[in-house]
Amino acid sequence: MDLVWAITIVVVVGGIGGFANVFIGDSGLHLPKVENGVFLPGYLGTVFIGAVAALGSYATAKTIFIFGGNPAFTFSTGDIANALMVGFGGAKWFKSEGEKDVLQKTAAIAAGKTADPAAAEAIAFSTPVQALQAAVNMK
């Protein structure tokens, strides 16, 4: 198998892993947007990060071949499985970082407003984006 094909397969499978991550949690299937001053990368962002993470992992594993000139190039189903899992994990990390930013902004907004028990309950039991909206709507 040619190295270019192997890299293409790894990138596509990593993107599939990132796309699978879209359905885990509460982010949903949406295009990138800015909501309440927070950038939400949508499914395109998670697919991109999944593909980049898988490519980085594959490049790390195959460094000896690329820089050492080893002619024994191999590509296996293990490489495909690794790309899928790293793509999924990379996208999960990316989503977690974004949700952390949303929750920090939610806390900052809510701390500057008067206590509202209904808003506190909504913030505690909703998605990060919904929590931010509840904090914005507080009196």
pLDDT of residue 59: 85
Q: Please, what is the average pLDDT of the chain? A: 86
Residue 113 banded pLDDT, cuts 50, 70, 90: very high
Provide the residue ranges of all domains of the chain, joining segments of one domain with +. Answer: 3-136
The tokens describing 47, both together, are: 């697919």
**Helix pair 117-124, 128-136: axis angle to 10 deg:** 160
Global pTM? 0.79
pLDDT(65) > 60? no
Contact 81, 54 (CB under 8 A): no
Contact 94, 46 (CB under 8 A): yes
